[in-house]
Chains A and B, each alone.
Chain A
């Protein structure tokens, strides 16, 4: 049981480049979400999904797109990278949005935009 798998673990982008952060879970969780974590800011929700085909914006969605074509995968796309998007990105999933069994996080992607 792999849990939540995020790739890549590290990435350096140039300003203006685009890329996709991958997130996959094998626990049949309906709820998936993307967070960014910056020093002193805590975890901030970017986008979330309550099931395949359903996505919605979180607290800081600008500059990011998501899609949820399958239950397992929830990729995060950076459209045109900016230095302000330098951060650590975490994907998380749970059985339901209420997370009664808690949320399982991936190991994170450390992104630097230069």
Chain B
């Protein structure tokens, strides 16, 4: 089983739709969780950290479910500019090395 798993997609949604991605992780001792966004041929950029209580940044909401070992990202009112690959990152739990998921591709169409 991979340490961090994501559905590669693509998720193809119309503008204005709500879309959600999940990311499961295997190390129950993991401590830090993030969502990154990567545009085609660009570097990954931090979208948001994921806190135990859940957190929101505008149209984006991140949740952590420790019992089921997954994190989620909800995007409301999707924009064309949201089209990108979304990577989840998990760290901690005795390892110095962050683990990146392979990413979920989102395509928002008019």
A contacts, CB < 8 Å to B: 31, 35, 40-43, 45, 48, 50, 56, 58, 88, 90, 97-108
From B42, B44, B91, A99 is in contact (CB under 8 Å) with: B91
Contact indicator A45/B97 (Cβ below 8 Å): yes
Tell whether A98 pairs with B34 under 8 Å between CB atoms, given A43-B100, A107-B42.
Answer: no
Docked CA distance A48–B45 (Å):
19
Docked CA distance A101–B41 (Å):
24
Docked CA distance A50–B101 (Å):
22
Docked CA distance A104–B46 (Å):
8
Q: Tell me which residues across on chain B come within 8 A of A43, comparing CB atoms.
A: 44, 87, 100
Q: Tell me which residues across on chain A come within 8 A of B41, comparing CB atoms.
A: 88
Residues of chain B from 5 to 45 with CB closer than 8 A to chain A in the complex: 31-32, 34, 36, 41-45
Contact indicator A100/B32 (Cβ below 8 Å): yes
